[in-house]
Amino acid sequence: MEKLTKQEIETKVKTIINKIRPYLLRDGGDIEFLRIENGIVYVRMMGACVGCANIDVTLKDGIEAILLEEVPGIFGVENVYE
């Protein structure tokens, strides 16, 4: 497994999130990267994603699954609610 710096991990996470964003925008939603702490990526789901019944599926089976597979050192994704 490759060892990435914190900056490389953050850059890779942001790149992947930006690739996912158009699919969320197409359905009226959006995602904002907030931070990474202890291998957990914190994001804010916005727009149509807020209150959507499928938000957990999108977050865990979609975004989290991709990040876990593509970015060494990432262990999960959490949505920050306001």
| In the chain, where the domains are located | 6-79
pLDDT at residue 1, as a whole number: 55
pLDDT, one tens digit per residue, over 15-57 is 999 999 999 999 999 999 999 999 999 999 999 999 889 999 9
Residue found under tokens 């996470």: 13
Architecture of domain 6-79: 2-Layer Sandwich (3.30)
What distance in Å separates the CA atoms of residue 48 and residue 37, rounded to the nearest whole number? 26
Running DSSP on this structure, what letter comes out for residue 59? Answer: I
Tell me the C-alpha distance between 7 and 45, whole Å.
Answer: 23
End-to-end CA gap in the chain: 36
- Spatial separation of the C-alpha atoms in residues 43 and 35, rounded to whole Å: 7
